[in-house]
Amino acid sequence: MFEDFKTTIATQLAVLTGAPVEAITGAIGIPKTNAHGDLAVNIPSLRIKGNPAQLAKDWAEAFKVDEVITSAVSTGPYINFRINRQVLTRKVLSTIYEKQDKYGWTNEGAGKRVIVEFSSPNIAKPFHAGHLRSTIIGNLIYNLYKASGWDAISMNYLGDWGKQYGLLAVGFERFGNEEQLVADPIQHLFEVYVAISAAAKEDDSLNDQARAYFKSMEDGDETALALWRRFRELSIVKYKDTYARLNINFDVYSGESQVGEGMTRAMAMLEECGLIAESEGAKLLDLEKYKLGKTVVKKSDGTTLYITRDIGAAIERFEAYNFDKIVYVIASQQDMHMKQFLKTISLIGLPYADRFQHVNYGLVKGMSTRNGTVIFLDDMLRESKEIMHEVMRKNEDKYAQVPDPEHVSSVLGVSAIIVQDMLARRIKDYDFDWKRILSFEGNTGPYLQYTHARLCSIERKVQDQVK
């Protein structure tokens, strides 16, 4: 969008400074505040001898403004430029008209591949609202890479392995119901898990049964795996329905269970690098010298844990996708785990270890229904839709003009939830407030949709096409 203006500025500054046009173009960015201007040149980055602030002042005074670049003013070591508003407006509107929904897209990442792993709920548990931030932030990152020309792959790494699935299998034998499983698999499996967890607190032998069941899964017992596989497949179908309501689609559904031979190789690398310590039959990853503590990589019964599978998954993913970058969108609660993981893949000498990035985020506090109960995402989407529908019904005349009020109220509800999350600072916790997020005033999803509706109304009333 600004490339033509940058070229105009860089061409004239190249004459004044003696620096190459390419170097100046690369030093042009957007000022931190609109008050400073539309574009700014960072003089120190040009690496020219002299006092940067004085150089900026001299070159700003010598810069010849015209009908396109209307002012050049120095602020410390920067030269700030303003663009003719009419020229800029004409340029923006004509570009939008030409590019349509591809406006803002670039080819900066052409030829490069990125995997963005996000959302990652646990199988057999409803999509808790706490997973919402990972889903929204991850999808934004994925879309940004895609719009920048990268070959972007969205990956959902499901929590689908571990002793808890042994417990779930034991629980299903006691509390499971086939009809309820088919009707609503995630909700029913959650209810089973809650029931068996409560029972296991009273009867520890159930935990022993769960560990034995999971061990049989890891050993490849087909009967045990068949039941687990059914739970997994039914859960994914339900998850896809929830994601569709958020307009999100994943390219790959992976999971801890999908990691295979990579785990064996990971363990061998850890042993070879002297990173393993033993304690009561279990194997620990020792990162004490890096102030990252110790963590179990293999239990005394031979079963693996999260970090073992994460390292194995990293190896297998690179071999499968040959990515240039991989981004993990995981809550700040897991910062220590991710630090251990990133440090470990570096220590074992993976040549692509510098391609991994962790994007963390804060928690959502006070997320509950209006009557105060903690909710899952489906409940939240349902309630936001109902509230929006109530608001729409208050204006009977306009409500009668809406062709599909159910769909519209659903879109308004989803918009409210997504926008309120995007407004929060990524790394900070924030308080969930129904009244604020569903308001039609201020920076909210409903107000954004209202503004869009108004613009569409104006567009319909304009007879001539945009020139």
Active site residues: 125, 128, 131
Phi, psi of 83, deg, nearest 5: -105, 140
DSSP state of 311: H
Report long-range pairs for 90-94 (Cβ below 8 Å, ≥24 apart). 91/1, 91/4, 92/1, 93/466
Identity of residue 23? A
75 - beta bridge partners? 78
Q: 69: Cβ–Cβ under 8 A, 6 or more apart, which residues?
A: 5, 8, 9, 63, 81, 82, 83, 84
Q: 244: Cβ–Cβ under 8 A, 6 or more apart, which residues?
A: none
252-255 sheet: strands from edge to edge: 252-255, 151-158, 113-117, 325-329, 356-359
Single out the residue of 136, 275, 165 nearest to residue 227, CA to CA.
165
Q: 450: Cβ–Cβ under 8 A, 6 or more apart, which residues?
A: 440
DSSP string, 132-173: HHHHHHHHHHHHHHHHTT-EEEEEEEEB--SHHHHHHHHHHH
Distance in angstroms (rounded) separating the CA atoms of residues 58 and 413 = 54
**Continuous H helices in 176-204:** 178-183, 185-202
Single out the residue of 384, 420, 383, 390 nearest to residue 405, CA to CA.
390
